[in-house]
Structure 1
Amino acid sequence: MLKITNLVKRYGNGEPVLKDLDLMIEGESVVSIIGSSGAGKSTLLRCINRLVEPTSGSIELNGNELTKLKGRQLRAARRKIGMVFQGFNLVDRLTVMENVQSGRLGYISTWAAVTRSYPKEDIRRAFELMERVGIAHYANKRADELSGGERQRVGVVRALMQNPEILLADEPTASLDPKTSEQIMELLRNLAAELKLPVLINIHNVTEAKIYTDRIVGMRYGRIIFDDKPDALDKEAMDKIYSGNPQADRNQNMLETA
Protein backbone atom coordinates (compact mmCIF):
# COMPACT_ATOMS: atom_id res chain seq x y z
CA MET A 1 0.00 0.00 0.00
CA LEU A 2 1.18 3.50 -0.85
CA LYS A 3 0.11 6.15 1.65
CA ILE A 4 0.95 9.82 1.10
CA THR A 5 0.09 12.31 3.83
CA ASN A 6 0.38 16.13 3.82
CA LEU A 7 2.96 16.05 1.03
CA VAL A 8 4.49 19.44 0.17
CA LYS A 9 7.09 20.21 -2.47
CA ARG A 10 8.46 23.71 -2.88
CA TYR A 11 11.32 24.82 -5.13
CA GLY A 12 13.22 27.68 -3.56
CA ASN A 13 10.99 30.51 -2.33
CA GLY A 14 8.31 29.98 -4.97
CA GLU A 15 4.79 28.68 -4.56
CA PRO A 16 4.59 25.00 -3.57
CA VAL A 17 4.20 22.63 -6.50
CA LEU A 18 2.47 20.14 -4.19
CA LYS A 19 0.27 21.43 -1.39
CA ASP A 20 -0.63 19.21 1.58
CA LEU A 21 -1.44 16.35 -0.75
CA ASP A 22 -3.01 13.12 0.55
CA LEU A 23 -3.26 9.94 -1.53
CA MET A 24 -3.66 6.21 -0.82
CA ILE A 25 -3.28 3.37 -3.31
CA GLU A 26 -3.97 -0.23 -2.37
CA GLY A 27 -3.95 -3.64 -4.03
CA GLU A 28 -3.40 -4.16 -7.74
CA SER A 29 -5.39 -1.15 -8.86
CA VAL A 30 -4.31 0.99 -11.82
CA VAL A 31 -4.61 4.65 -10.90
CA SER A 32 -4.18 7.51 -13.36
CA ILE A 33 -3.27 11.08 -12.51
CA ILE A 34 -4.61 13.75 -14.85
CA GLY A 35 -4.38 17.52 -14.93
CA SER A 36 -2.99 20.43 -16.88
CA SER A 37 0.73 20.91 -17.36
CA GLY A 38 2.15 22.33 -14.13
CA ALA A 39 -0.47 20.69 -11.93
CA GLY A 40 2.26 18.72 -10.11
CA LYS A 41 1.70 15.28 -11.61
CA SER A 42 5.31 14.49 -12.51
CA THR A 43 6.60 16.07 -9.32
CA LEU A 44 4.35 13.75 -7.32
CA LEU A 45 5.79 10.64 -8.98
CA ARG A 46 9.34 11.88 -8.53
CA CYS A 47 8.75 12.57 -4.86
CA ILE A 48 7.54 9.00 -4.39
CA ASN A 49 10.77 7.50 -5.71
CA ARG A 50 12.87 10.33 -4.22
CA LEU A 51 14.20 11.58 -7.56
CA VAL A 52 12.86 14.84 -6.13
CA GLU A 53 13.15 15.53 -2.40
CA PRO A 54 9.82 16.37 -0.71
CA THR A 55 9.80 19.56 1.35
CA SER A 56 7.60 18.00 4.01
CA GLY A 57 5.02 15.29 4.53
CA SER A 58 5.01 11.51 4.64
CA ILE A 59 5.31 8.84 1.93
CA GLU A 60 4.90 5.25 3.10
CA LEU A 61 5.21 2.14 0.94
CA ASN A 62 3.99 -0.98 2.70
CA GLY A 63 4.76 0.61 6.06
CA ASN A 64 8.23 1.85 5.09
CA GLU A 65 8.56 5.64 5.52
CA LEU A 66 10.44 6.66 2.39
CA THR A 67 11.03 10.31 3.25
CA LYS A 68 13.32 9.45 6.18
CA LEU A 69 15.61 7.08 4.29
CA LYS A 70 19.18 7.88 3.26
CA GLY A 71 22.13 6.13 1.70
CA ARG A 72 21.95 2.35 1.57
CA GLN A 73 18.43 2.22 2.99
CA LEU A 74 17.16 4.62 0.32
CA ARG A 75 18.83 2.62 -2.45
CA ALA A 76 17.24 -0.56 -1.11
CA ALA A 77 13.80 1.09 -1.02
CA ARG A 78 14.16 2.35 -4.59
CA ARG A 79 14.59 -1.22 -5.77
CA LYS A 80 10.95 -1.74 -4.85
CA ILE A 81 9.71 1.23 -6.89
CA GLY A 82 9.64 0.51 -10.62
CA MET A 83 9.65 3.54 -12.94
CA VAL A 84 8.60 3.78 -16.59
CA PHE A 85 9.67 7.03 -18.27
CA GLN A 86 8.18 9.08 -21.08
CA GLY A 87 11.54 9.25 -22.86
CA PHE A 88 12.25 5.52 -22.30
CA ASN A 89 15.66 6.23 -20.64
CA LEU A 90 17.38 3.36 -22.44
CA VAL A 91 21.06 3.13 -23.30
CA ASP A 92 20.86 3.08 -27.09
CA ARG A 93 24.18 1.33 -27.74
CA LEU A 94 23.29 -1.57 -25.44
CA THR A 95 21.16 -4.55 -26.38
CA VAL A 96 17.62 -5.09 -25.19
CA MET A 97 18.82 -7.76 -22.76
CA GLU A 98 21.50 -5.44 -21.35
CA ASN A 99 18.96 -2.64 -20.89
CA VAL A 100 16.55 -5.00 -19.21
CA GLN A 101 19.23 -6.28 -16.86
CA SER A 102 19.90 -2.72 -15.68
CA GLY A 103 16.78 -3.23 -13.59
CA ARG A 104 18.85 -5.64 -11.48
CA LEU A 105 21.74 -3.25 -10.77
CA GLY A 106 20.59 -2.77 -7.21
CA TYR A 107 20.78 -6.52 -6.60
CA ILE A 108 24.05 -7.64 -8.21
CA SER A 109 27.68 -6.76 -7.55
CA THR A 110 29.48 -3.97 -9.36
CA TRP A 111 31.81 -6.52 -10.93
CA ALA A 112 28.92 -8.57 -12.28
CA ALA A 113 27.34 -5.42 -13.73
CA VAL A 114 30.56 -4.17 -15.35
CA THR A 115 31.41 -7.57 -16.86
CA ARG A 116 27.74 -8.21 -17.71
CA SER A 117 27.91 -11.51 -15.85
CA TYR A 118 24.21 -11.67 -15.16
CA PRO A 119 22.92 -14.45 -12.88
CA LYS A 120 21.19 -17.27 -14.74
CA GLU A 121 17.99 -16.68 -12.79
CA ASP A 122 17.94 -13.02 -13.88
CA ILE A 123 18.42 -14.02 -17.52
CA ARG A 124 15.62 -16.57 -17.24
CA ARG A 125 13.30 -14.00 -15.66
CA ALA A 126 14.20 -11.43 -18.30
CA PHE A 127 13.31 -13.79 -21.14
CA GLU A 128 10.08 -14.68 -19.36
CA LEU A 129 9.03 -11.04 -19.08
CA MET A 130 10.21 -10.13 -22.58
CA GLU A 131 8.20 -13.01 -23.97
CA ARG A 132 5.18 -11.75 -22.04
CA VAL A 133 5.37 -8.28 -23.61
CA GLY A 134 6.36 -9.51 -27.07
CA ILE A 135 10.01 -8.48 -27.37
CA ALA A 136 11.93 -11.68 -26.58
CA HIS A 137 13.06 -11.96 -30.20
CA TYR A 138 14.80 -8.58 -29.82
CA ALA A 139 16.98 -9.69 -26.90
CA ASN A 140 20.28 -9.19 -28.78
CA LYS A 141 19.19 -6.17 -30.79
CA ARG A 142 20.46 -2.68 -29.94
CA ALA A 143 17.91 -0.45 -28.27
CA ASP A 144 18.29 2.29 -30.89
CA GLU A 145 17.05 -0.13 -33.57
CA LEU A 146 13.61 -0.44 -31.98
CA SER A 147 10.40 1.49 -32.55
CA GLY A 148 8.95 3.72 -29.84
CA GLY A 149 6.47 1.10 -28.69
CA GLU A 150 9.15 -1.58 -28.55
CA ARG A 151 11.45 0.72 -26.59
CA GLN A 152 8.71 1.41 -24.07
CA ARG A 153 8.12 -2.32 -23.64
CA VAL A 154 11.82 -2.64 -22.83
CA GLY A 155 11.34 0.09 -20.22
CA VAL A 156 8.40 -1.78 -18.71
CA VAL A 157 10.37 -5.03 -18.48
CA ARG A 158 13.37 -3.22 -16.99
CA ALA A 159 11.11 -1.82 -14.24
CA LEU A 160 9.55 -5.23 -13.59
CA MET A 161 13.00 -6.82 -13.26
CA GLN A 162 13.30 -4.88 -10.00
CA ASN A 163 10.51 -7.02 -8.50
CA PRO A 164 8.80 -3.76 -7.52
CA GLU A 165 6.09 -3.30 -4.93
CA ILE A 166 4.63 -0.47 -7.02
CA LEU A 167 5.06 0.65 -10.62
CA LEU A 168 5.15 4.35 -11.50
CA ALA A 169 4.70 5.49 -15.10
CA ASP A 170 5.37 9.11 -16.07
CA GLU A 171 3.58 9.87 -19.36
CA PRO A 172 4.41 6.39 -20.74
CA THR A 173 2.45 6.95 -23.97
CA ALA A 174 3.25 10.60 -24.71
CA SER A 175 5.86 9.76 -27.36
CA LEU A 176 3.80 7.06 -29.03
CA ASP A 177 1.22 6.94 -31.81
CA PRO A 178 -2.43 6.37 -30.77
CA LYS A 179 -2.55 2.64 -31.52
CA THR A 180 0.73 1.92 -29.75
CA SER A 181 -0.39 4.08 -26.81
CA GLU A 182 -3.47 1.92 -26.36
CA GLN A 183 -1.35 -1.23 -26.50
CA ILE A 184 1.01 0.05 -23.79
CA MET A 185 -1.89 1.10 -21.55
CA GLU A 186 -3.56 -2.27 -21.98
CA LEU A 187 -0.26 -3.98 -21.23
CA LEU A 188 0.16 -2.02 -17.99
CA ARG A 189 -3.38 -2.83 -16.93
CA ASN A 190 -2.96 -6.54 -17.63
CA LEU A 191 0.42 -6.74 -15.91
CA ALA A 192 -1.02 -5.07 -12.81
CA ALA A 193 -3.63 -7.81 -12.58
CA GLU A 194 -1.26 -10.67 -13.38
CA LEU A 195 1.46 -9.55 -10.96
CA LYS A 196 -0.93 -8.13 -8.35
CA LEU A 197 0.94 -4.86 -8.64
CA PRO A 198 -0.38 -1.34 -8.00
CA VAL A 199 0.34 1.01 -10.90
CA LEU A 200 0.28 4.81 -10.76
CA ILE A 201 0.26 6.53 -14.15
CA ASN A 202 0.71 10.22 -14.91
CA ILE A 203 -1.15 10.73 -18.19
CA HIS A 204 -2.49 13.54 -20.39
CA ASN A 205 -4.82 11.36 -22.46
CA VAL A 206 -8.08 11.41 -20.49
CA THR A 207 -9.78 8.95 -22.83
CA GLU A 208 -7.09 6.36 -22.17
CA ALA A 209 -7.30 7.06 -18.45
CA LYS A 210 -11.04 6.36 -18.51
CA ILE A 211 -10.66 3.15 -20.51
CA TYR A 212 -7.60 1.53 -18.99
CA THR A 213 -7.48 2.60 -15.34
CA ASP A 214 -9.60 1.73 -12.32
CA ARG A 215 -9.44 5.12 -10.67
CA ILE A 216 -8.71 8.67 -11.76
CA VAL A 217 -7.06 11.34 -9.63
CA GLY A 218 -7.41 14.87 -10.95
CA MET A 219 -4.88 17.53 -9.89
CA ARG A 220 -4.91 21.30 -10.16
CA TYR A 221 -2.36 23.73 -8.69
CA GLY A 222 -0.69 20.99 -6.66
CA ARG A 223 -3.87 19.70 -5.04
CA ILE A 224 -6.11 16.71 -5.66
CA ILE A 225 -9.56 18.00 -6.59
CA PHE A 226 -11.00 14.78 -8.01
CA ASP A 227 -10.56 11.17 -6.89
CA ASP A 228 -13.11 8.64 -8.13
CA LYS A 229 -13.94 5.92 -10.63
CA PRO A 230 -13.65 6.79 -14.34
CA ASP A 231 -17.43 6.86 -14.78
CA ALA A 232 -17.64 9.75 -12.32
CA LEU A 233 -15.40 11.97 -14.43
CA ASP A 234 -18.15 14.07 -16.00
CA LYS A 235 -18.03 17.49 -17.68
CA GLU A 236 -18.29 19.33 -14.38
CA ALA A 237 -15.30 17.44 -12.96
CA MET A 238 -13.32 18.00 -16.16
CA ASP A 239 -14.04 21.72 -16.02
CA LYS A 240 -12.75 21.89 -12.45
CA ILE A 241 -9.57 20.02 -13.34
CA TYR A 242 -8.73 21.75 -16.61
CA SER A 243 -10.45 25.13 -16.59
CA GLY A 244 -11.71 25.74 -13.08
CA ASN A 245 -13.48 28.82 -11.83
CA PRO A 246 -11.34 31.86 -12.74
CA GLN A 247 -12.51 33.95 -9.78
CA ALA A 248 -12.00 31.05 -7.38
CA ASP A 249 -8.51 30.53 -8.79
CA ARG A 250 -7.66 34.22 -8.28
CA ASN A 251 -9.02 34.13 -4.74
CA GLN A 252 -7.00 30.99 -3.97
CA ASN A 253 -3.79 32.52 -5.34
CA MET A 254 -4.37 35.68 -3.29
CA LEU A 255 -4.80 33.63 -0.12
CA GLU A 256 -1.62 31.65 -0.79
CA THR A 257 0.51 34.71 -1.48
CA ALA A 258 -0.90 36.84 1.37
Structure 2
Amino acid sequence: MLRITDLVKRYAGGDPVLKNLDLTVEGESVVSIIGSSGAGKSTLLRCINKLVEPSSGSIVLNGMELTTLKGRKLREARRKIGMVFQGFNLVDRLTVMENVQSGRLGYISTWSAISRRYPKQDIRRAYELMERVGIAHYADKRADELSGGERQRVGVVRALMQEPEILLADEPTASLDPKTSEQIMQLLRDLARELSLPVLINIHNVAEARQYTDRIVGMRYGRIIFDGPPAELDETAMDRIYSGSPAADRASPQPEPVS
Protein backbone atom coordinates (compact mmCIF):
# COMPACT_ATOMS: atom_id res chain seq x y z
CA MET A 1 0.00 0.00 0.00
CA LEU A 2 1.09 3.53 -0.79
CA ARG A 3 -0.20 6.13 1.64
CA ILE A 4 0.52 9.83 1.10
CA THR A 5 -0.44 12.25 3.87
CA ASP A 6 -0.36 16.05 3.89
CA LEU A 7 2.23 16.18 1.11
CA VAL A 8 3.63 19.60 0.19
CA LYS A 9 6.20 20.43 -2.48
CA ARG A 10 7.41 24.00 -2.72
CA TYR A 11 10.25 25.22 -4.91
CA ALA A 12 12.38 28.12 -3.72
CA GLY A 13 10.59 31.45 -3.96
CA GLY A 14 7.37 30.05 -5.40
CA ASP A 15 3.93 28.89 -4.38
CA PRO A 16 3.51 25.21 -3.46
CA VAL A 17 3.23 22.85 -6.41
CA LEU A 18 1.56 20.25 -4.17
CA LYS A 19 -0.70 21.49 -1.41
CA ASN A 20 -1.43 19.23 1.59
CA LEU A 21 -2.19 16.29 -0.65
CA ASP A 22 -3.58 12.96 0.65
CA LEU A 23 -3.72 9.81 -1.49
CA THR A 24 -3.90 6.06 -0.88
CA VAL A 25 -3.21 3.39 -3.54
CA GLU A 26 -3.35 -0.31 -2.76
CA GLY A 27 -4.01 -3.80 -4.05
CA GLU A 28 -3.86 -4.39 -7.79
CA SER A 29 -5.69 -1.16 -8.60
CA VAL A 30 -4.77 0.94 -11.62
CA VAL A 31 -5.11 4.61 -10.72
CA SER A 32 -4.85 7.44 -13.24
CA ILE A 33 -4.00 11.04 -12.40
CA ILE A 34 -5.49 13.62 -14.75
CA GLY A 35 -5.38 17.40 -14.89
CA SER A 36 -4.08 20.31 -16.88
CA SER A 37 -0.37 20.93 -17.39
CA GLY A 38 1.01 22.44 -14.20
CA ALA A 39 -1.50 20.70 -11.96
CA GLY A 40 1.30 18.85 -10.14
CA LYS A 41 0.85 15.38 -11.62
CA SER A 42 4.48 14.73 -12.57
CA THR A 43 5.74 16.38 -9.38
CA LEU A 44 3.62 13.96 -7.37
CA LEU A 45 5.21 10.92 -9.05
CA ARG A 46 8.68 12.37 -8.61
CA CYS A 47 8.06 12.98 -4.93
CA ILE A 48 7.05 9.33 -4.50
CA ASN A 49 10.34 8.02 -5.86
CA LYS A 50 12.24 11.06 -4.51
CA LEU A 51 13.52 12.29 -7.83
CA VAL A 52 12.47 15.54 -6.18
CA GLU A 53 12.50 16.09 -2.44
CA PRO A 54 9.12 16.73 -0.77
CA SER A 55 8.97 19.90 1.33
CA SER A 56 6.84 18.26 4.01
CA GLY A 57 4.37 15.47 4.58
CA SER A 58 4.54 11.67 4.62
CA ILE A 59 4.92 9.03 1.89
CA VAL A 60 4.69 5.46 3.19
CA LEU A 61 5.11 2.40 0.97
CA ASN A 62 4.19 -0.89 2.65
CA GLY A 63 5.12 0.45 6.07
CA MET A 64 8.32 2.25 5.01
CA GLU A 65 8.45 6.03 5.37
CA LEU A 66 10.18 7.22 2.18
CA THR A 67 10.59 10.92 2.90
CA THR A 68 13.24 10.41 5.59
CA LEU A 69 15.42 7.94 3.67
CA LYS A 70 18.86 8.87 2.40
CA GLY A 71 21.92 7.15 0.94
CA ARG A 72 21.91 3.37 0.84
CA LYS A 73 18.48 3.03 2.42
CA LEU A 74 16.98 5.32 -0.21
CA ARG A 75 18.63 3.35 -3.02
CA GLU A 76 17.24 0.13 -1.57
CA ALA A 77 13.76 1.63 -1.33
CA ARG A 78 13.88 2.85 -4.93
CA ARG A 79 14.34 -0.72 -6.08
CA LYS A 80 10.75 -1.29 -5.00
CA ILE A 81 9.37 1.62 -7.04
CA GLY A 82 9.24 0.85 -10.76
CA MET A 83 9.09 3.83 -13.13
CA VAL A 84 7.91 3.96 -16.76
CA PHE A 85 8.82 7.20 -18.56
CA GLN A 86 7.20 9.17 -21.36
CA GLY A 87 10.50 9.38 -23.27
CA PHE A 88 11.35 5.70 -22.61
CA ASN A 89 14.79 6.56 -21.07
CA LEU A 90 16.55 3.73 -22.86
CA VAL A 91 20.23 3.62 -23.82
CA ASP A 92 19.92 3.49 -27.60
CA ARG A 93 23.28 1.85 -28.30
CA LEU A 94 22.56 -1.04 -25.93
CA THR A 95 20.51 -4.10 -26.79
CA VAL A 96 17.03 -4.74 -25.49
CA MET A 97 18.39 -7.33 -23.05
CA GLU A 98 21.01 -4.92 -21.75
CA ASN A 99 18.41 -2.20 -21.25
CA VAL A 100 16.11 -4.62 -19.47
CA GLN A 101 18.91 -5.79 -17.19
CA SER A 102 19.50 -2.21 -16.06
CA GLY A 103 16.43 -2.79 -13.90
CA ARG A 104 18.64 -5.10 -11.81
CA LEU A 105 21.39 -2.55 -11.12
CA GLY A 106 20.24 -2.15 -7.54
CA TYR A 107 20.67 -5.88 -6.95
CA ILE A 108 23.91 -6.91 -8.67
CA SER A 109 27.54 -5.91 -8.16
CA THR A 110 29.13 -3.03 -10.02
CA TRP A 111 31.53 -5.44 -11.73
CA SER A 112 28.67 -7.63 -12.98
CA ALA A 113 26.92 -4.55 -14.38
CA ILE A 114 30.04 -3.14 -16.08
CA SER A 115 31.06 -6.49 -17.56
CA ARG A 116 27.43 -7.32 -18.43
CA ARG A 117 27.69 -10.66 -16.71
CA TYR A 118 24.12 -10.99 -15.56
CA PRO A 119 23.00 -13.75 -13.19
CA LYS A 120 21.32 -16.63 -14.98
CA GLN A 121 18.13 -16.20 -12.99
CA ASP A 122 17.94 -12.55 -14.09
CA ILE A 123 18.36 -13.51 -17.74
CA ARG A 124 15.68 -16.17 -17.37
CA ARG A 125 13.28 -13.71 -15.73
CA ALA A 126 13.98 -11.11 -18.41
CA TYR A 127 13.07 -13.57 -21.16
CA GLU A 128 9.87 -14.50 -19.31
CA LEU A 129 8.80 -10.88 -19.05
CA MET A 130 9.85 -10.01 -22.59
CA GLU A 131 7.89 -12.99 -23.87
CA ARG A 132 4.89 -11.79 -21.87
CA VAL A 133 4.92 -8.34 -23.49
CA GLY A 134 5.84 -9.60 -26.97
CA ILE A 135 9.43 -8.44 -27.40
CA ALA A 136 11.52 -11.56 -26.62
CA HIS A 137 12.52 -11.85 -30.28
CA TYR A 138 14.13 -8.40 -30.02
CA ALA A 139 16.44 -9.35 -27.15
CA ASP A 140 19.63 -8.81 -29.17
CA LYS A 141 18.49 -5.78 -31.16
CA ARG A 142 19.67 -2.30 -30.31
CA ALA A 143 17.05 -0.15 -28.63
CA ASP A 144 17.24 2.51 -31.36
CA GLU A 145 16.03 -0.05 -33.93
CA LEU A 146 12.64 -0.41 -32.24
CA SER A 147 9.35 1.42 -32.73
CA GLY A 148 7.93 3.63 -30.01
CA GLY A 149 5.55 0.96 -28.75
CA GLU A 150 8.32 -1.62 -28.65
CA ARG A 151 10.60 0.78 -26.80
CA GLN A 152 7.91 1.43 -24.22
CA ARG A 153 7.49 -2.30 -23.70
CA VAL A 154 11.21 -2.46 -22.99
CA GLY A 155 10.70 0.27 -20.42
CA VAL A 156 7.88 -1.67 -18.78
CA VAL A 157 9.97 -4.85 -18.56
CA ARG A 158 12.93 -2.91 -17.16
CA ALA A 159 10.70 -1.55 -14.40
CA LEU A 160 9.30 -5.00 -13.64
CA MET A 161 12.82 -6.43 -13.38
CA GLN A 162 13.17 -4.35 -10.21
CA GLU A 163 10.53 -6.56 -8.57
CA PRO A 164 8.62 -3.40 -7.63
CA GLU A 165 5.95 -3.05 -5.00
CA ILE A 166 4.34 -0.24 -7.01
CA LEU A 167 4.64 0.85 -10.63
CA LEU A 168 4.62 4.55 -11.54
CA ALA A 169 4.05 5.63 -15.15
CA ASP A 170 4.59 9.25 -16.21
CA GLU A 171 2.68 9.90 -19.45
CA PRO A 172 3.55 6.42 -20.80
CA THR A 173 1.51 6.85 -24.00
CA ALA A 174 2.17 10.51 -24.84
CA SER A 175 4.78 9.66 -27.50
CA LEU A 176 2.73 6.87 -29.11
CA ASP A 177 0.08 6.66 -31.81
CA PRO A 178 -3.53 6.01 -30.66
CA LYS A 179 -3.58 2.27 -31.35
CA THR A 180 -0.23 1.66 -29.64
CA SER A 181 -1.31 3.86 -26.72
CA GLU A 182 -4.31 1.63 -26.13
CA GLN A 183 -2.13 -1.48 -26.29
CA ILE A 184 0.26 -0.08 -23.67
CA MET A 185 -2.59 0.93 -21.36
CA GLN A 186 -4.16 -2.52 -21.70
CA LEU A 187 -0.77 -4.08 -20.98
CA LEU A 188 -0.33 -2.04 -17.80
CA ARG A 189 -3.82 -2.98 -16.67
CA ASP A 190 -3.26 -6.68 -17.36
CA LEU A 191 0.11 -6.73 -15.61
CA ALA A 192 -1.40 -5.08 -12.54
CA ARG A 193 -3.86 -7.96 -12.30
CA GLU A 194 -1.35 -10.70 -13.06
CA LEU A 195 1.30 -9.44 -10.63
CA SER A 196 -1.09 -8.01 -7.98
CA LEU A 197 0.76 -4.74 -8.49
CA PRO A 198 -0.68 -1.27 -7.85
CA VAL A 199 -0.10 1.07 -10.80
CA LEU A 200 -0.24 4.88 -10.66
CA ILE A 201 -0.39 6.56 -14.08
CA ASN A 202 -0.04 10.26 -14.88
CA ILE A 203 -2.01 10.71 -18.11
CA HIS A 204 -3.50 13.48 -20.26
CA ASN A 205 -5.81 11.24 -22.28
CA VAL A 206 -9.05 11.20 -20.29
CA ALA A 207 -10.69 8.65 -22.60
CA GLU A 208 -7.88 6.17 -21.87
CA ALA A 209 -8.13 6.91 -18.16
CA ARG A 210 -11.85 6.12 -18.27
CA GLN A 211 -11.38 2.89 -20.22
CA TYR A 212 -8.27 1.34 -18.70
CA THR A 213 -8.06 2.44 -15.07
CA ASP A 214 -10.10 1.52 -12.02
CA ARG A 215 -9.96 4.91 -10.39
CA ILE A 216 -9.37 8.48 -11.52
CA VAL A 217 -7.72 11.19 -9.45
CA GLY A 218 -8.23 14.70 -10.78
CA MET A 219 -5.74 17.41 -9.82
CA ARG A 220 -5.94 21.19 -10.10
CA TYR A 221 -3.42 23.70 -8.77
CA GLY A 222 -1.64 21.10 -6.66
CA ARG A 223 -4.75 19.70 -5.00
CA ILE A 224 -6.88 16.60 -5.52
CA ILE A 225 -10.37 17.78 -6.38
CA PHE A 226 -11.79 14.50 -7.71
CA ASP A 227 -11.17 10.93 -6.58
CA GLY A 228 -13.47 8.16 -7.71
CA PRO A 229 -14.34 5.50 -10.29
CA PRO A 230 -14.47 6.47 -13.98
CA ALA A 231 -18.27 6.30 -14.00
CA GLU A 232 -18.41 9.22 -11.55
CA LEU A 233 -16.23 11.52 -13.68
CA ASP A 234 -19.11 13.58 -15.04
CA GLU A 235 -19.09 16.95 -16.79
CA THR A 236 -19.23 18.83 -13.51
CA ALA A 237 -16.11 17.06 -12.28
CA MET A 238 -14.37 17.64 -15.61
CA ASP A 239 -15.17 21.36 -15.44
CA ARG A 240 -13.68 21.60 -11.97
CA ILE A 241 -10.53 19.74 -13.00
CA TYR A 242 -9.88 21.61 -16.24
CA SER A 243 -11.72 24.93 -15.86
CA GLY A 244 -11.90 25.64 -12.15
CA SER A 245 -10.42 28.81 -10.69
CA PRO A 246 -7.70 28.82 -8.01
CA ALA A 247 -10.07 30.58 -5.62
CA ALA A 248 -12.73 27.90 -6.06
CA ASP A 249 -10.21 25.16 -5.39
CA ARG A 250 -8.95 26.86 -2.26
CA ALA A 251 -12.51 26.96 -0.98
CA SER A 252 -13.22 23.30 -1.75
CA PRO A 253 -12.16 20.53 0.61
CA GLN A 254 -10.02 17.70 -0.76
CA PRO A 255 -12.20 14.60 -1.41
CA GLU A 256 -11.96 11.59 0.84
CA PRO A 257 -9.33 9.16 -0.54
CA VAL A 258 -10.59 5.98 -2.13
CA SER A 259 -8.93 2.78 -0.87
TM-score, normalised by the number of residues in structure 1: 0.96
After TM superposition, the structure 1 = structure 2 runs for residues 145-156 of structure 1, keeping only pairs within 5 Å, are 145-156=145-156
Query: Which residue type is aligned with residue 170 of structure 2?
Result: D
After TM superposition, the structure 1 = structure 2 runs for residues 1-258 of structure 1, keeping only pairs within 5 Å, are 1-245=1-245, 248=248
Measure the CA separation in 1 of the matches of 2:134 and 2:245: 46
Query: Which residue type is aligned with residue 144 of structure 1?
Result: D
Aligned residues: 252
Alignment CA distance shift 1:55-1:140 (3 Å): same
Contact 2:220 2:249 survives alignment (8 Å): no
Query: Which residue type is aligned with residue 150 of structure 1?
Result: E
Identical pairs, percent: 84
Query: Which residue type is aligned with residue 28 of structure 1?
Result: E
SS for the counterpart of 2:175 is coil
Query: Which residue type is aligned with residue 96 of structure 2?
Result: V
Give CA-to-partner distance per residue, 1:191-250, whole Å, 9 cap, x none: 000000000000000000000000000000000000000000000000000001476369
Shift of 1:103: 0.0
User: Is there any run of 5+ residues in structure 1 with no aligned partner, and where?
Assistant: 253-258
Query: Which residue type is aligned with residue 118 of structure 1?
Result: Y
Alignment CA distance shift 1:223-1:250 (3 Å): closer
Query: Which residue type is aligned with residue 80 of structure 1?
Result: K
Give CA-to-partner distance per residue, 1:4-34, whole Å, 9 cap, x none: 0000000102000000000001100000000
Query: Which residue type is aligned with residue 173 of structure 1?
Result: T
Query: Which residue type is aligned with residue 5 of structure 1?
Result: T
Partner of 1:255: none
SS for the counterpart of 1:67 is coil
Partner of 2:255: none
Alignment CA distance shift 1:73-1:251 (3 Å): closer
Measure the CA separation in 1 of the matches of 2:246 and 2:56: 29
User: Is there any run of 5+ residues in structure 2 with no aligned partner, and where?
Assistant: 253-259
SS for the counterpart of 1:189 is helix
